[in-house]
Amino acid sequence: MSDASELPKSEKEEEEVTPEPEEQSDDSSEEEAAGATEMDFLRNLFSSTLGLGSPDKVLDELTLEGVAQYIKSGKCKNILCMVGAGISTSAGIPDFRSPGTGLYANLQKYNLPYPEAIFQIDYFKKHPEPFFALARELYPGQFKPTVCHYFIKLLKDKGLLRRCYSQNIDTLERVAGLEGDDLIEAHGTFYTSHCVSFCCRTEYNLDWMKEKIFSDDIPKCDKCNSLVKPDIVFFGENLPVRFFTSMKMDFPRCDLLIVMGTSLQVQPFAGLVGRVSKSCPRLLINMEKAGQADPLLGLLGFGGGMDFDSDKAYRDVAHISTCDDGCLALADLLGWKAELEELVKQEHARIDSEGKKEKSSESKGAAAKASSASAAPETKKEE
């Protein structure tokens, strides 16, 4: 393994091992697509364990400029984004699942057996009150996506976004205009909720849940009176099935992976960076470097971690900044900056005006509720 991987590029070997599966699959059936995925997987496995087929260097330089040139070249058609809490912090949304944010220290008032219990499914089913009290406390006053969210939307509008994989549960990708198929919410979402009863599973929307969260009631199913839980993934629950099915199709075909606002520490999400092909450039926009290969695992032929700085670095670029600044810088290099800024301005204005409408109807609603509540405290109508 060591000899071959020492060589910076050996194109002959690359051509022998790489039969260009993409070109064969023009009239691709599902089976062929799956076959190509397996080929990619095997090729990655062989090249990483045996050092065969050193990958092509796709970027002219390992900088944001290099990435921008690549996008402009037209060879980069399938961009995947992987995003985490860092893309939402400038929207004022606390990273409330990660330890070390001060949040867990704030949980004493809920009398939890231990702080993480608040996000554990078994505890929640018996004691839902602390979770909903916390949700009420942390519920953002107004959802407003960030520059970074709109940059991803711009990638979609330009036909370059294959999909965005998000660890966030704040629904801001949806607010920014990504639709169901554009998005994998790996850790679930507040956007929808379901009755926890396996026989029932009735779905409820965000407005319904929001109303329950802000009333003092624990959300209960209108049909069977079981608990209703937002579709966020609690500890002890599986990730959504779509995460696993899409991942297998998306990553081997990715032309550029953009990782933003995540320290890549939570599995299985973090492991996705190792699932793109060996030649696929990976751009990290984050406040610190992340996802770097464990040197020991690298020696063993595992890894697939990021390599920004070593002598062998050939495809990974770290842009250390806030996600918003990094996206603005990249948009500038792509000639999209004015377009991005205009999109942000227009969309924020739209959200503000909708927020005002909602507030005025809410205060009317609250007044109506107050008068009806005094007459019949338990009646709650669906809207």
Residues at the interface with Zn ion (CB under 5 A): 195, 197, 200, 202, 221, 223-224, 226
Which of 10/197 has CB closer to Zn ion? Answer: 197
Query: What are the angstrom distances between the C-alpha of 120 and each of 123, 124, 171, 250, 349?
Result: 5, 6, 21, 30, 38
Q: How far is the C-alpha of 95 from the C-alpha of 204, rounded, in Å?
A: 24
Residue 301 labelled as part of a binding site: no
Which of 124/314 has CB closer to Zn ion? Answer: 124
Catalytic residue from among 127, 149, 187, 194: 187
Residue 286 labelled as part of a binding site: yes
Burial of 341 (0-12, 13-18, 19+ CB in 10 A): middle
Which of 151/204 has CB closer to Zn ion? Answer: 204
DSSP state of 227: B
Q: String of b and e for 29-53 (b: at least 16 CB within 10 Å)?
A: eeeebeebbebbeebbeebbeebbb
Residue 143 contacts residue 172 (beta carbons within 8 Å): yes
Q: How far is the CB of 225 from Zn ion (least distance, A)?
A: 7
Which two structure tokens, joined as six digits, stand for 51?
């050092």
Which of 49/225 has CB closer to Zn ion? Answer: 225
Q: How far is the CB of 196 from Zn ion (least distance, A)?
A: 8
Q: How far is the CB of 204 from Zn ion (least distance, A)?
A: 9
Active site residue 187: yes
Residue 274 labelled as part of a binding site: no
DSSP, collapsed to helix, strand or coil, labels residue 111 as coil
Q: How far is the CB of 359 from Zn ion (least distance, A)?
A: 31
Which of 221/254 has CB closer to Zn ion? Answer: 221
Q: How far is the CB of 159 from Zn ion (least distance, A)?
A: 41
Residue 263 labelled as part of a binding site: yes
Residue 85 labelled as part of a binding site: yes
Phi, psi dihedral angles at 162 (to 5 degrees): -80, -50
Residue 218 contacts residue 128 (beta carbons within 8 Å): yes
Q: String of b and e for 208-222 (b: at least 16 CB within 10 Å)?
A: bbebbbeeeeebebe
Which sequence positions are flagged as catalytic? 187
Q: Which residues are annotated as a binding site?
A: 85-89, 95-97, 167-170, 195, 200, 221, 224, 262-263, 286-288, 323
